[in-house]
Chains A and B, each alone.
Chain A
Amino acid sequence: MSGGEAHVENSIWMRAVLIGGVFLAIGILAFATMGVGVANVKHHDYEEAILEYEDAKYAYEDAKASNASDAEIATLKEAKEEAHHHEVEAHLSYLTWRTAGITILLMCITYAAFIGLGGFLNSIAPSGDDAHDNHGYGGDDHEHHGSGSPIIFALGIMLFLMGFPSFQSVLGNMLSGTDFALGDLGVSMLGLVVITAGVANWWREDLPFIGNGEQIATSAPFEGQHIRKAGLWVFIMSEVMVFATFFSSYLRMRTEWCTDWQVQAGNCAEVNMLTASDFLRPNGGTLDGLGGQGDFMTLLPGAINTFALIISSYTIVLALKTANSKDWTAPTGMMGKIMPDQKTAVRNYLIATFLLGSMFIVLKLIEWSHLVAEGFTIGTQAGSIFYISTGAHGLHVFIGLLVMLYLIFKADTVGYDEKNGQGIEYFGLYWHFVDLAWVVIFPAFYLY
C-alpha cells in the first residue's frame, strides 16, 4: 500500500477470473454428483415405488371387487397407503437431490459470470495514472469526486427490466422446447452487459480504497456522518416499504380466507384455502386431499434457514470486529489453523457468511420443489403471495451473496482493517436487514 490508496495491479484481477473458474468447476461437480448421479439413483427408487404403489392399488381394488373378507381388504388398504406414502417419500427424495444439483449449478454459473467477468473486464482495463484518477476515492490529498458506477448500474437494471417480459418468454420457450427468436433477448442482454460493466467499474474504484477520502455529509440531518452509511439506511427504509407491501397484501388476503387456523378458532366452518404452513407444520389443515402431511422434516428446511441467517448475521459481525480490532491475536487450536492471521480471519468469516447464505438459497428451492410437488402451486392466492414474498426475500439474499463475492475478493487481496472496515459494516447492515425481514416472513408464512 502506498499513499492514500492501495496499489492495485491489473493482474490482481486475474485472481477473480480464477475464482470464477473454481466456481464453475464446483457447480459442474455438484450437478454431476447430486443432480445427475444421486438424483438418477433416487429416480430409479421413485420409479420402483410407483410400480409398488400401482401393484398395491390393484391388489386392493381386486380384493374389493372380488368381495374378499373385511380383514383382507383392510390389510390391503393399509399396504396401499403405505406404498403411497413410500412413493411420495421417494419422489421428494429425488426432487431434493435434483433441485440441489441444479440450484448449485445455476448459482455457481452466476457467481462465476459475476466475479469472472468483473475480474476479466478490470484485468484488461488500461492501468496507470490516468486510470488511477478515475477511482472513486482520492488519496489523502485528493478531493473525493464520487462515482458514476451507480448510474451505469441503474441504467443496466432499467434496460434489463425493459426487456424482461421477452427475456422470460424466450427462456420459457427454450426450456419447453418451443420456437423462440433469440433476438428477443437483445434488450435484457444489453442490460446485463451494462450491469456487469457498472459493477466491474464499481469494484475497480473500490478495491484500492483503504479508508481515506470517505465522503462526509456536510449538512443536516446527517451532518458529520458517512454519506454511504446514510444512503444505505435510506435504501433499507425503501426496502422496508417493499416488504410491508407484501405483508399487508398477505394479511389482507389471509383475513378473508377460511384457513385451518380460522376453523380451529371457530371463526368459520370449513377450510377453503390452504396456506404454506398447512403443508409445512405438523397438524396443518387439509383441503381436497392436499395438505396436512407436515412433520418435523417438512418444517426442517425453513427452521435450518432461520438459524443459518442468524448465524450468518453473527459471522459478518465477527468479520467486522476482526477487521476493526487493533490487538487481534490468532486463536489457538483448530480455529488457529483456520484463522492464522487477521486478514485471513476476516476473509474466512466472510466465506462462512457466504456459505450460509448459499445454503439458504439451496434449501429454499428444495423446499419450494417439495411444496409444488405436494400441490401448493403459485396458481392459488396463497401460493402466489407465498412464492412472491419468500422469492423476493430469496432474491435479496442472492444479491447479497453476489456483493459478498466482491467483499471476499477484497478481503483476500487488499484486505480490510479498522480504516476501511466500513465496506463490511455497510454490507452487514443490508445483510442484517435481510435477516430482519426473515424474522417476519418465517413465522407469518411458515408457522402461522
Chain B
Amino acid sequence: MGEHKTSGIFESIFDGLGGRDIYFWNFIILMVFTLFEVAAVFFETIPGTDIEITLYAVWAILIGVGIVKGYGIAAYFMHLKGDPRIYTRTALFPVLFVLLMLWGIGLSNPGAVQNLPDWCTPNWDFAVER
C-alpha cells in the first residue's frame, strides 16, 4: 500500500504524469469508472444519441467495470503488485472455494449442489444401498 515502486504498462503511462504518482491516477480511474457504472444504469440511451443501452450491455458494463475497479484496488491500493508473490497467492487462495460456491450454489438453481453433474457427485445410490 503505497510503499514500493511497481513496473508495468499502466505505470509507464501514468506514473509521474502531470507530476502525480500512480496512486493518484488509480484513484481518478476508479472514480471515472464508477461514474460510468452509475450512468450505464441511469441512462436508457447513450446521451446525445438514440442508441439504446440494452440490459445485456448494462450487465456487461457492470461486470467489466467491477473487474477493472477490483484490479485497481487490489493491485495498487492494496499493493499486491509490488509486494512479494506470497501475498497474491494468499489472496487467491479462497478463489477456488468462491468459484465453487458461486457455481455450486449461486448458479445451480433450482437444485443447487444436489443437481450437479454425476461426475462430480458422490454415488448416492451406492451409499444408500450399503
Measuring CB to CB, which residues of chain A are less than 8 angstroms from any residue of chain B?
A: 221-222, 225, 229-230, 233-234, 236-238, 240-241, 244-245, 247-252, 255-256, 261, 264-265, 281-283, 296, 299, 303, 306-307, 310-311, 313-314, 317-318, 320-321, 324, 425, 428-429, 432-433, 435-436, 439-440, 442-443, 447-448
B110 within 8 A of A: yes
> Which residues does chain A contribute within 8 Å of B38, judged by CB atoms?
299, 303, 306, 447
A434 to B14, CA, bound (A): 25
Task: Find out whether the CB atom of B65 lies under 8 angstroms from the CB atom of A244.
Answer: no
Q: Contacts A244-B102, A307-B34 known; A237 to B3 CB distance under 8 Å?
A: no
Shortest distance in angstroms between A166's beta carbon and chain B's nearest beta carbon?
32
Report Cα–Cα, A225/B42, bound state, in Å. Answer: 46
A439 with B62, Cβ < 8 A, contacts A244-B97, A314-B27 known: no
Closest chain B residue, CB of each to CB of A236? B91
Most chain A beta-carbon neighbours within 10 Å: one of B44, B87, B97: B87
B86–A222 touching, CB < 8 Å? yes
Most chain A beta carbons < 10 A, residue from B37, B38, B90, B110: B38
Stretch of B5-13, B68-76, B117-125 contacting A (4+ beta carbons < 8 Å): B68-76
- With CB as the reference atom, state the residue of chain A lying closest to B102: A248
Known: A321-B2, A447-B62. A256 touches B106 (CB 8 A): no
Cβ contact within 8 Å between A234 and B90: yes
Interface centre among A233, A283, A320, A435 (most CB of B within 10 A): A233
A432 to B65, CA, bound (A): 17
Q: Is the CB of A233 within 8 A of B42?
A: no
- The answer to whether A237 and B106 touch (CB under 8 A), given A221-B86, A299-B42, is no
* Identity of the chain B residue whose Cβ is nearest the Cβ of A421 in the assembled complex: B3
Among A250, A282, A310, A435, residue most surrounded by chain B Cβ atoms (within 10 Å)? A310
Tell me the chain B residues, 4-43 only, with Cβ under 8 Å from chain A. Answer: 21, 23-24, 27, 30-31, 34, 37-38, 40-42
CA of A317 to CA of B3, assembled, Å:
10
- Chain B binding site: helix, strand, loop or mixed by DSSP? helix
Residue in A233, A247, A249 whose CB lies within 8 Å of B87? A233
With A299-B42, A425-B3, A447-B62 as contacts: A310 and B34 at CB distance below 8 Å: yes
Given the complex, which residues of B lie within 8 Å of A317, measured CB to CB? 1-2, 23, 27, 77
CB A12 to nearest CB in B, in angstroms, measures 28
| In-complex Cβ contact of B97 among A225, A241, A252 (8 A) | A241
Q: Are B77 and A265 in contact (CB under 8 A)?
A: no
Selected from B2, B70, B91, B101, the residue in CB contact (under 8 A) with A233 is B91
Q: A245-B101, A320-B3, A448-B59 are in contact. List 19 more A-B contacts (CB 8 A).
A: A248-B101, A251-B106, A264-B55, A282-B42, A310-B34, A311-B31, A317-B77, A318-B23, A321-B2, A425-B3, A428-B1, A432-B73, A432-B74, A432-B77, A435-B73, A440-B66, A440-B70, A443-B66, A447-B62
Q: Do the beta carbons of B73 and A439 come within 8 Å of each other? A: yes
The 20 listed contacts between A and B (C-beta, < 8 Å) are A221-B86, A237-B94, A241-B97, A248-B105, A252-B105, A281-B42, A299-B42, A310-B34, A313-B73, A314-B77, A317-B23, A320-B1, A320-B3, A321-B21, A432-B1, A440-B66, A443-B62, A447-B37, A447-B40, A447-B62
- On B, residues with C-beta under 8 Å from A are 1-3, 21, 23-24, 27, 30-31, 34, 37-38, 40-42, 44, 55-56, 58-59, 62-63, 65-66, 69-70, 73-74, 77-78, 84, 86-87, 89-91, 93-94, 97-98, 101-102, 104-110, 112
A307 contacts B31, C-beta separation under 8 Å: yes
| Majority SS at the chain A contact face | helix
Complex Cα distance, B62 from A306, in Å, reads 14
Bound together, the chains give a CA A236 to CA B24 distance in angstroms of 24
Q: Compute how far the CA of A317 lies from the CA of B73 in the bound complex, rounded to whole angstroms.
A: 11
Contact partner, A255, options B59, B69, B74, B109, Cβ 8 Å: B109
Residues in B neighbouring A429, C-beta threshold 8 A? 1, 78
Assess whether A241 is in contact with B41, with CB atoms less than 8 Å apart: no
> Known contacts A307-B31, A307-B34: does B73 contact A436 (CB below 8 Å)?
yes
- A320 contacts which of B2, B87, B102 (Cβ < 8 Å)? B2
Q: Check A299–B41 contact: CB distance below 8 A.
A: yes
Across-interface contacts of B74 in A (CB, < 8 A)? 432, 436
Whole-angstrom distance between the alpha carbons of A148 and B128 in the complex? 49
Residues of B within 8 A of A425 (CB): 1-3
Question: Which 7 residue pairs of A and B lie closest in terms of their CB atoms, listed nearest first?
Answer: A251-B106, A248-B106, A248-B101, A255-B109, A314-B27, A443-B62, A244-B98
| CB of B74 to closest CB in A, whole Å | 6
User: CB distance B70 to A439 under 8 Å?
Assistant: yes
Does A314 lie within 8 Å of B42, measured CB to CB? no
Q: Which residues of B contact A314 (CB under 8 A)?
A: 23-24, 27, 77
A237 CA to B62 CA, complexed, in Å? 24
A250 to B109, CA, bound (A): 11
Shortest beta-carbon distance from A418 to chain B in Å? 10
Residues of B within 8 A of A306 (CB): 34, 38
Q: Contacts of A436 on B, CB cut-off 8 Å?
A: 70, 73-74, 78
